[in-house]
């Protein structure tokens, strides 16, 4: 079985400040981890993913995430928030032979001017 916990359903940051969105996972086998972003009335768009290899993963729009096995975490960061980053962010996991993604409950990011 696999699961994802996203700490903080709402996060607010000032424009230009660091963005940190937290994700912890549970998986009985090595996980594959994803971050998706969802803008209002749009589908989910992949930001980045970790499969194997380098644990620091860079994605689109300046986002990156680090896979930490010892902490079972995959937190998403961006050094400097932009107004256009305001959206809902979902962490997801899959593993083993599973094809489907298991999502967290999401974090709504607000960027304050």
Partner 1 sequence: GAGVSQSPRYKVAKRGQDVALRCDPISGHVSLFWYQQALGQGPEFLTYFQNEAQLDKSGLPSDRFFAERPEGSVSTLKIQRTQQEDSAVYLCASSLVGNTVETQYFGPGTRLLVL
Pair of tokens at residue 54? 């380098």
Half-sphere exposure of 113 (CA within 13 A, CB side): 0
Closer CB to partner 1, residue 17 or residue 44? 44
Segment interacting with partner 1, rule: CB under 8 A, options 13-21, 65-73, 79-87, 104-112: 104-112
Q: In the structure encoding, which two tokens stand for residue 58, read together? A: 């860079």
Cβ 17 to partner 1, closest distance in Å? 25
Site for partner 1 in 7-66 (CB under 8 A): 9, 32, 36, 41-46, 49, 51
Which candidate, 3, 90, 6, 102, places its Cα nearest to that of 43? 90
Residues 70 to 99 in contact with partner 1, rule: CB under 8 A? 90, 92, 94-99
- In angstroms, give the least distance from the CB of 105 to partner 1: 5
Size of the site for partner 1 (CB under 8 A): 27
| 102 contacts partner 1 (rule: CB under 8 A) | yes
Burial class of residue 86 in the structure, from the number of CB atoms within 10 Å of its CB (0-12 exposed, 13-18 middle, 19+ buried): middle
Which residues form the interface with partner 1 (CB under 8 A)?
A: 4, 9, 32, 36, 41-46, 49, 51, 90, 92, 94-106
């Amino acid at each position: 079985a696999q699961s994802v916990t996203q700490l903080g359903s709402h996060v607010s940051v000032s424009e230009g400040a660091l963005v940190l969105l937290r994700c912890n996972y549970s998986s009985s086998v090595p996980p594959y981890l994803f971050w998706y972003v969802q803008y209002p009335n749009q589908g989910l768009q992949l930001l980045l993913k970790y499969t194997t290899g380098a644990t620091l993963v860079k994605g689109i729009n300046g986002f990156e995430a680090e896979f930490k096995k010892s902490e079972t975490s995959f937190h998403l960061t961006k050094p400097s928030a932009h107004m256009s980053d305001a959206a809902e962010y979902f962490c997801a996991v899959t593993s083993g032979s599973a094809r489907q993604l298991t999502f967290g409950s999401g974090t709504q990011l607000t960027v304050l001017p």
